């Protein structure tokens, strides 16, 4: 039931946006879709605020951050490596990741590298600014500064993605092997990464598998792991999945237009919610079905695997 209630607002927002996209004038819909970019920056800023809160409240913060970073790197890089080795690509494999990508594709040198590099820098800067604001707010303003809810901004973004999705034709490719294999490889790669992380950090294999099964869904993993293993491990689980999300943001902006399957695979379960607007911005529109299907499958599997490994 927890998964159902977590998915319900996302599904309703996406469906509501899709219906709206079918009935509103195309000109008005286009104007709304252009709001995605500034809202994405705002969402990244609020993610940075949440990250700052985690860092400030963590006990034994140095060891927790170190362990979480190892888990996040290995459980993200291994799945991405498997997806790359499998040669999975979307129909945008020609290099035209989005409208801007098409202008730079095929041109060597700095002009090709600069657009994704600039977007990565902006994304990380927004996260850093959010973290800095949280520290200032807590240290000097006693928490007096009000900030909007990241959940509300996320739902607004998903509505806009739904409006844009109304222009995409649904077909059998949504459930092709190329699409379904991405979440399968993410699960396999995450578990292989968990084994490597267990060896590297000294955590037990059972705990390592539980920490690696959130697939980026930090609000779920932190609660489930914290209830069974205590606050320190709950914070560690949150940081593992938050780090995975930050890595996914970089991956989507850096290679999403050329290798969308790898970028979406790195996003894990968040491809259905928090990184879905970034998929829309950084990848070709044809990659959205892959993000929705992969994110949905991993969102359903995450609580099942976490509960299994904690039992």
Greater pLDDT, 119 or 226:
226
pLDDT tens profile 41-71: 898 888 888 778 877 766 567 888 899 999 9
| DSSP assignment string, 191-233 | HHHHHHHHHHH---HHHHHHHTSSTT-HHHHHHHHHHHH-HHH
* Domains contained in the chain, number: 1
CA distance 223 to 301: 16
pLDDT tens profile 171-203: 666 778 888 999 999 999 999 999 999 999 999
Residue 95 predicted with pLDDT over 70: no
For the chain, the farthest-separated pair of C-alpha atoms sits apart, in whole angstroms, at 58
pLDDT tens profile 1-41: 555 666 678 788 888 988 998 899 888 988 898 888 888 88
Record the tokens describing residue 175, joined without a space.
């459930």
pLDDT tens profile 265-307: 999 999 988 888 888 888 888 888 899 899 989 988 888 899 8
Q: What is the pLDDT of residue 58?
A: 62
| DSSP assignment string, 139-206 | HHSTT------HHHHHHHHHHHHHHHHTTSPP-GGGGSHHHHHHHHHHHHHHHHHHHHHHHHH---HH
Q: What is the pLDDT of residue 113?
A: 53
- Is pTM, for the whole model, over 0.75? no
Record the tokens describing residue 281, joined without a space.
């911005």
Domain extent for 74: 2-310
Q: What is the pLDDT of residue 3?
A: 59
Q: Is 94 helix (H, G, I), strand (E, B) or coil?
A: coil
> Of 268, 302, 291, 65, whose CA–CA distance to 164 is shortest?
291
Q: What is the pLDDT of residue 69?
A: 94
Contact 257, 98 (CB under 8 A): yes
Contact 270, 217 (CB under 8 A): yes
């Amino acid at each position: 039931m927890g998964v159902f209630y977590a998915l319900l607002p996302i599904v309703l927002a996406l469906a509501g946006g899709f219906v709206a996209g079918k009935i509103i004038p195309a000109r008005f819909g286009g104007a709304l879709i252009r709001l995605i970019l500034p809202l994405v920056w705002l969402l990244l800023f609020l993610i940075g605020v949440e990250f700052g809160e985690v860092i400030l409240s963590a006990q034994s913060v140095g060891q927790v951050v170190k362990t979480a970073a190892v888990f996040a790197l290995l459980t993200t890089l291994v799945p991405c490596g498997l997806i790359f080795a499998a040669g999975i690509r979307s129909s945008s494999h020609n290099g035209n990741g989005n409208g801007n990508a098409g202008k730079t594709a095929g041109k060597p040198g700095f002009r090709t590298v600069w657009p994704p590099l600039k977007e990565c820098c902006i994304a990380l800067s927004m996260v850093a600014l959010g973290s800095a604001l949280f520290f200032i707010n807590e240290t000097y303003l006693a928490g007096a500064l009000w900030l909007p809810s990241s959940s509300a901004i996320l739902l607004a973004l998903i509505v806009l993605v739904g409006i844009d999705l109304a222009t995409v034709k649904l077909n059998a490719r949504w459930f092709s092997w190329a699409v379904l294999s991405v979440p399968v490889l993410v699960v396999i790669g995450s578990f292989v990464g968990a084994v490597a992380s267990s060896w590297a950090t000294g955590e037990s294999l059972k705990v390592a598998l539980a920490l690696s099964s959130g697939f980026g869904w930090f609000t779920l993993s932190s609660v489930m792991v914290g209830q069974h293993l205590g606050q320190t491990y709950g914070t560690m689980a949150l940081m593992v999945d938050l780090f995975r999300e930050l890595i996914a943001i970089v991956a989507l902006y850096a290679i999403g237009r050329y290798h969308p399957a790898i970028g979406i695979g790195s996003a894990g379960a968040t491809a259905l919610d928090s990184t879905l607007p970034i998929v829309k911005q950084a990848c070709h529109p044809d990659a959205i079905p892959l993000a929705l299907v992969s994110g949905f499958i991993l969102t359903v599997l995450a609580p099942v695997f976490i509960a299994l490994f904690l039992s």
